A and B are shown apart, each in its own frame.
Chain A
């Protein structure tokens, strides 16, 4: 998911950075004092998730967890993912500093989309089945959309869209399933022990 430095042209990089800046701005405005530790913990989760390497499939892929961040944080996933990616770039040399903008956009925007698509299901009033299905779908689709967005970024750079996107999505199929299960598990866990974390944003 991390696009390396030197792959994309400067125009795409600046475009991605500008859109990310808007997203981060919206996210920061929505942050309340009480939510900050919560966001920090989810950022840490995102930061280490990229180290969990999934050996299934043709390429080297890892967990992303953007669906979980989107579902719980909404727009606040933008600043969280930006921080996580910046540290990944600095400490692990995943992606890069110049590609930080476009990489954040590619992972955080699907998170926000999933928040609007599936957030309605993550309520105390919704039944258990609906709850699990929407959480699973959020985890799954966030990775899928991120793959499509990365493919689209490469397409803007001159690669053919369909092969690149197909390869990305195919490589991330196991990740999608695992993230769906993980997101559903975590959402169920939160519903049991900290329902206010889920309720607070959809009340």
Chain B
């Protein structure tokens, strides 16, 4: 008889055990993470819980919502493409069974030069300098070009080299970021949710008990 009573209780604890220990393998949300390296945009897609989203379509839109290109994720949930247009991009992942996620890449990441040229008043300064003392600027300008020519490296080339090496150095960090992005919910959320439900039960019981009491006193 005691055995009979033990068995269901054991099963019940087993279920709780499974709930508590299965937590790293959470599911059910998709995320996409996209980053820029040089002229290429890399994306990584996964279900929450870390399972990669294989063979699902990734659609790229520009800032006005026009579709630029479409591709499929590979077995690692990755998809990369060269930047099709120098605007802000929106990368949308459409996984099967009604799952969708998106990631926005701001224009600064796509084309830092365009933004920095606009924001830096460098050229304006040069212009004003030029108008104030024309001959001098021409001289200094030629000096500069002579200087850079003698070294064989232009400003743009230096910038490009720095960008390239930065991309290379940062790529492991980007990979770590991509891996950590979109993890499953933690213990706080789970306990919090259960707490909410118990709270709601309390509220519901409060109101129904008041209704019952009113009903009883009324009748």
Contacts and interface: CB of A to CB of B under 8 A. Distances in A.
Contacts of A4: 29-30, 98-101
Contacts, number: 132
Contact of A44 (B4, B96, B197, B205): B197
A93 B201 CA distance: 23
B25 interface: yes
B201 A36 contact: yes
Interface stretch (B124-132, B141-149, B152-160, B185-193): B185-193
Contacts of A202: none
A185 B27 CA distance: 24
Contacts of B51: 60
B98 A48 contact: no
Contacts of B193: 44, 47-48, 87-88, 91-92
A51 B185 CA distance: 9
Max count, chain A CB within 10 A of own CB: residue among B102, B193, B204, B208: B193
A192 B3 CA distance: 13
B97 A59 contact: yes
A182 B15 CA distance: 9
Interface residues of A, number: 50
Counting chain B CB atoms within 10 Å of each CB, which of A4, A39, A88, A154 scores highest?
A4
B176 interface: no
B11 A171 contact: no
Nearest to A102: B98
Contacts of A51: 19, 22-23, 26-27, 184-185, 190
A54 B49 CA distance: 11
Nearest to B22: A52
Q: How large is the interface on B (under 10, 10 to 19, 20 to 34, 35 or more residues)?
A: 35 or more
A36 B201 CA distance: 6
B100 A5 contact: yes
Interface in A151-203: 153-154, 164, 167-168, 171, 182, 185, 188-189, 192-193
A92 B98 contact: no
Contacts of B209: 33
Nearest to B24: A53
A49 to B, nearest CB: 8
Nearest to A53: B27
A11 interface: no
B19 A48 contact: yes
A39 B204 CA distance: 11
Given A2-B28, A53-B28, 5 more contacts: A33-B205, A51-B27, A60-B51, A84-B197, A164-B97
22 contacts: A4-B100, A33-B212, A40-B197, A40-B200, A48-B190, A48-B193, A50-B28, A51-B22, A51-B27, A51-B184, A53-B22, A53-B27, A87-B193, A87-B197, A91-B189, A91-B193, A150-B97, A150-B98, A154-B98, A185-B11, A189-B8, A189-B11
